[in-house]
Every structure is written in structure tokens, then in C-alpha cells.
Amino acid sequence: MTGTKTKATSKASLKRSSNSSNSSKSNNIRVKRPYVKKDKNLIYTPKNDKMKNLKFIKLPECIQSILTTSYYRLDTMGGGDCLYHAVLGCITEINPYFSKYLTVNEDKKLLFVYNFKKMLYNDVLNYPYKYKEELTMVPNLPDRLLTMGTWAGEYEVLAITKYLNLNIFVFQTLMNNDGTIKYCTSYCLSNYYIPLDITKNTIFIFNINNTHYETILRFNEESIKGSFKPTEAIVKKVNKVYITQCSI
């Protein structure tokens, strides 16, 4: 009887020790999420069981009305690399290497981002003439790409545009302190330095208060889609409006 109790106690201690070990491992990488005020009523959970852990949030009405009701923001990890998380969430269908990004845990998402930044870093080093504008404005761009958690802005967006050879539309919203929308617009950085190429694939990302980037995906019962071919109606519409107005 005593032996049984001792064995049970030993197992319990081992379990606690194992849990403690796992906990310490999971705490090795901490991801700080920026504070973004969100209306709980806007949280949307897709019915697709495969994607049940993803948290979708509706876009502001001024953007939703352009993209129609099937488009949603996907909450992305913070910690300084949110731009890269937002982009990777969009390209799972067009880049096989990142095809599983949406379904893996946060540690593996960080690994995907690390590898993507390293790939972009190698491209910048090998073809500096291609990234002349970015390197002129951000001379330490290679170092920033090798550092995890380094905040990224418009020149990183431009570099990603060139590296992936696609159009990136950024829908940007500035919020008042009470949570209402102060300002909303969109821009396509490729149009600043190179002509907008309507023959390229396009992805949409969302920026809130100049602090956090999120993926914009189209959801239906069959799939979650983040990249769009030039022939798709929504890309034609957005490109046409943008070319004529340089804003949406």
C-alpha cells in the first residue's frame, strides 16, 4: 500500500515537473501584443473546423463596403514583426514554403518569420540595385532584417513588394481615443517608385494607428484566401479606383 502511494506520488511529482519544464520552454519566446481597442461584437469565428482557432475581426465599414462582407481582418502576432506576420498570412497559397503558416502555433510562426526575413535579407545583399530606394532611406535595412522584433514600416513593405513580385495594398485606419474612426485610406507603395502593375497578384493588409499590421483574408466555407490574381473582380476594382484617385 505504501509502495503504491509512493509510486503515485512520484508520478504526480514527475507530471508537475514536466509541466513546469514545458512552461519554462514556452516562456523562452515572449510575444508582446500591442494594445488595440476592439469591439467584442466584431469578433468573428469561421465555422470551418480546420481554421477554428483563427480569430477574425470585421473591417471598418468604410473598408468593408469596398471589399464586400466576405473580407475579414485576421489578428496577427505583435512583438515588432507584425508586418511580416500579416504578409505571410496572405501568401500561403502562392508560396508552398509558407503554406502551413496559418495553422501552426506561435513559436512556429516566429520561425516562419525568421526564415522569411533571412530570405529577404539575402535578396537585398545579392541585388542591392533592386532595393536602391530602401537602402537609401534605411541604410541599416539588412541589420533590421536580421533582428527579430524590429519594427517595420513603409520601406520594408516596398522591399517585400519587390521580393515577392506582387502588389500590396495597405488599408490604414487612425482611431480616436473613444474608438471611433478618425481617418481611413489606403495606399500601394509600389506606385511611389515603380508603376502599379495590374498584371501582378495582389494582397491586402490592414494597419491600425500606425502601430499594428493585420492580414486581410476572404473567408467562405471552402477556403480562406489571402492572395488574389489580377483577373479577380476585387483586384480589378481596387486597381481601377486607385489608379484614377490614388486613394481609396
More confident residue, 115 or 4: 115
Q: Is residue 107 part of a domain?
A: yes
What confidence category does residue 127 fall into, taking pLDDT thresholds of 50, 70 and 90?
A: very high
pLDDT digits (tens, 9 = 90+) for 220-234: 766 788 998 999 888
Alpha carbon distances (Å) from 185 to 1, 85, 99, 206, 209: 73, 21, 30, 10, 12
Q: Is residue 98 part of a domain?
A: yes
Q: Is residue 89 part of a domain?
A: yes
Q: Is residue 8 part of a domain?
A: no
Q: Which residues pair with 134 in a beta bridge?
A: none
| CATH number, position 214 | 3.90.70.80
pLDDT digits (tens, 9 = 90+) for 76-85: 988 889 999 9
User: Is the distance from CB of 187 to CB of 53 less than 8 angstroms?
Assistant: no
pTM, whole model, 2 decimals? 0.76
User: Is the distance from CB of 85 to CB of 109 less than 8 angstroms?
Assistant: yes
* Lookup result for grid cell 536602391: 132
CA neighbor of 218 nearest in space, from 7, 10, 48, 77: 48
pLDDT digits (tens, 9 = 90+) for 11-58: 444 334 444 444 333 333 333 333 334 444 334 444 555 556 678 888
Q: Indicate the number of domains in the chain.
A: 1
Q: Is residue 93 part of a domain?
A: yes
Q: How far apart are CA 230 and CA 168, in angstroms?
A: 12
Q: Is residue 57 part of a domain?
A: yes
Residue 59 belongs to what domain range? 31-245
Q: How far apart are CA 222 and CA 54, in angstroms?
A: 15
Phi, psi (5° rounding) for residue 126?
-80, -30
What pLDDT is stored for residue 83 in this prediction? Answer: 95
What pLDDT is stored for residue 153 in this prediction? Answer: 84
Q: Is residue 17 part of a domain?
A: no
What pLDDT is stored for residue 52 in this prediction? Answer: 60
Cell of residue 150, nine digits: 524590429
User: Is the distance from CB of 206 to CB of 86 less than 8 angstroms?
Assistant: yes
Lowest-pLDDT choice from 13-22, 94-103, 155-164, 237-246: 13-22
What pLDDT is stored for residue 82 in this prediction? Answer: 94
Q: Is residue 139 part of a domain?
A: yes
What pLDDT is stored for residue 190 in this prediction? Answer: 56
Q: How far apart are CA 56 and CA 66, in angstroms?
A: 18
